[in-house]
Amino acid sequence: MAKFIAVLGGGISGYGSAILAKKQGFDVLLSDMGQISPLYRARLDEWGVEYEEGGHSVERILTASEVIKSPGIPDKAPLVKALHEKGVPVISEMEFACRYMGKAKTICITGSNGKTTTTSLIYKIMKDSGANVALGGNIGESFAYSVATGEYDWYVLELSSFQLDGMFRFKADVGVLMNITPDHLDRYDYSFEKYAASKMRITQNQNSANYFVYSADDETILRQIEQHEIKAKELPFMIHSAIASGAGDAYLVEPTEFIATVGKKSLKIDTSRLKIKGQHNTYNAMAAVLATLAAGIEPEQVEKSLYDFNAIEHRLEPVGTKEDIEYINDSKATNVDSTWYALESMTRPTVWIAGGTDKGSTYAPLFDFAQKKVHTLISMGVDNARLEKEFTGIVPNIISCHTFEEAMQAVVRSARKGDAVLLSPACASFDLFKNYEQRGEMFKAWIRENILNK
């Protein structure tokens, strides 16, 4: 009889895990407290995967031999606690999918900030080089779905601390740690040390054939390295420090130049030629160069792709900053999962623009971040009632807007110095816009015309 695997959460990681489990011959149930998106439902139906919506069959799930949990579901959720008490292993999509990826190798990127840009940059360099590569984790396709439906030589994976927490035997061939700043502390008993240790799981199971790329300007990372036995070859990147490593490193030689070296391969980059600006993007570029050189990409190819790279349109895309208010277009976030990662990445007090065509998903995974980071929610859609009801008592200020212009005027009234204004709808765009691209373009155009260029 086939082993029974339960998958909790029907978002991007859940549907991919369920399909991979089905392909591997397991008896599978995907269970979601909310509604599953029509796209994912169609794929589950296509593969003959059993699923349930609007609640969990608790007794049946407790009989599973293993449970794959969405990163948005906390360990303190009653069902997860019950599984732990019963001794049922609870793992992440990454842990499950890595068992079936054959001889493929991984480049895994984590950190409190900068993950998405660095991951996208690494993926572009690998893809441009002709490597047979897939993009997954927090962005791109589900890692498990890619493993189920394709055969790749490389996987470039953006990982959150929650995904790392559910990874035990998984090993990153190239692990990248961008930074560690206080975040998600509610999920770590309000202990920064526990959160930092979670990020360091990027190095678990690595050996001397692997690489660990990290910021040597981050004091928390340096402290963690002292506490952990790092077996991989260390590749530090830095703007302010001077930490040498025999395996290689990246450091600033001029205000707009850095040198990156891995083994015998070396590269000088003129940061003024990069299309992505700012010191944080210099760090992102350094990390991407070290990771791809470590993966064997030739320096000339790395350099060419780096100078070609644009910010990802409509995905945490910086629009600009005026009077210390930062404007970010994340219109591509058409579901709760995507917005979860957007809110996760916010480091400033946030004015959050959300809403559109409600997909019926539960907004519960967003509550923690919204409570910690968002001071104003601007709901923008034909029907905002459910969104507003769910966030009442979680976000202090909620402004209901039924047109795009109304929402933009609310932004002007609500944003204050030091804030971020984030368009990350968590809903489809079909009520007020043709698609998410039009929604993002209108947002960018309005901000540029009425704020940045005034």
- Whether the pLDDT of residue 183 is over 60: the answer is no
Per-residue pLDDT, 264: 95
Q: Is residue 152 domain-shared with residue 205, that is, in the same domain? A: yes
Regarding whether 412 and 437 lie in a shared domain, the answer is: yes
**Residue 99 region, left (φ>0) first, then alpha (ψ -120 to 50), else beta?**
alpha
Domain boundary among 262, 281, 308: 308
What is the C-alpha to C-alpha distance for residues 304 and 274, in angstroms, rounded to an integer?
10
Residue 351: CATH number of its domain: 3.90.190.20
CB 9 within 8 A of CB 32: yes
Q: List, for residues 108-147, the tens digit of each pLDDT value.
A: 999 877 788 899 999 999 999 999 999 998 888 899 999 9
CB-based contacts of 285: which residues, under 8 Å, 6+ apart? 121, 258, 269, 271, 274, 276, 306
CATH no. for residue 19?
A: 3.40.50.720
Q: Which of 243, 259, 253, 257 is nearest to 293 (CA)?
A: 259
Please give the tally of structural domains in the chain: 3
Average pLDDT for 432-439: 88
Tokens of residue 21, six digits: 């489990």
Last residue of a domain, one of 308, 326, 356: 308
Instruction: Tell me the pLDDT tens digit for each residue of 26-35.
Output: 999 999 998 8
Q: Is 306:284 a contact under the CB 8 Å cutoff?
A: no
Q: Flag whether pLDDT at 75 surpasses 80.
A: yes
Of 313, 330, 288, 332, the closest CA to residue 128 belongs to 288
Taking residues 370-384, report their average pLDDT. Answer: 93
Specify whether 360 is located in the same domain as 303.
no
Grade residue 187 by pLDDT with cuts at 50, 70 and 90.
Answer: low
Residue with tokens 């490389």: 154
List the structure tokens of 9.
């959460």
Beta-carbon count within 10 A of 193 CB? 13
Do 107 and 233 fall within a single domain? yes
pLDDT digits (tens, 9 = 90+) for 271-291: 999 988 778 789 999 999 999
Out of 258, 281, 308, a domain closes at 308
The residue among 394 and 255 whose pLDDT is bigger is: 394
Reply yes or no on whether the pLDDT at 39 is more than 60.
yes
Contact between 351 and 419 (Cβ < 8 Å): yes
Q: Which amino acid is at 169?
A: R
Q: With a cut of 60, say whether residue 305 has pLDDT above it.
A: yes
**Averaged pLDDT score across all residues of the chain:** 91
pLDDT at residue 186 tops 80 = no
User: Residue 212 and residue 245: Cα distance in Å, rounded?
Assistant: 11
Q: Looking at the structure, do residues 38 and 112 belong to the same domain, yes or no? A: no
Q: What pLDDT score was predicted for residue 359?
A: 65
* Same-domain status, 303 and 377: no
Helix axes 192-199, 219-227, angle to 10 degrees: 80
What amino acid is encoded at 228 in this protein? H
- Statement: residue 184 has pLDDT above 70: no
Residues 135 and 231 placed together within one structural domain of the fold: yes
Contact status, residue 140 vs residue 123, Cβ threshold 8 Å? yes
Q: Residue 1: pLDDT above 80?
A: no
Shared domain for 368 and 268, answered yes or no, is: no
- State what percent of residues in the chain have pLDDT above 70: 97
Rounded CA-CA distance 128/220 in Å is: 34
Query: In which domain, by residue range, is 197 found?
Result: 95-308
Q: Which helix (H) or strand (E) holds 323?
A: none
Classified as helix, coil or strand, 325 is strand
How many angstroms from the chain centroid is the CA of residue 227? 26
What is the sign, positive or negative, of the torsion defined by CA atoms of 179, 338, 66, 39? negative
Distance (Å, rounded) from C-alpha 56 to C-alpha 68?
A: 14
CB 57 within 8 A of CB 82: no
Domain harbouring 301, CATH code: 3.40.1190.10
Are 133 and 150 in contact, with CB atoms under 8 Å apart? no
Residues 297 and 334 in one domain: no
Local confidence band at 61 (pLDDT 50, 70, 90 cut-offs): very high
Percent of the chain predicted with pLDDT > 90: 70
Distances, alpha carbon 54 to alpha carbons 8, 32, 335, in Å:
12, 6, 17
Residue 169 and residue 109 share a domain: yes
Query: Considering the entire predicted model, what is its pTM?
Result: 0.77
* Angstrom distance (rounded) from CA 338 to CA 349: 19
- Band (182; pLDDT cuts 50, 70, 90): low
Residues 33 and 111 in one domain: no
50 and 197, same domain (yes or no): no
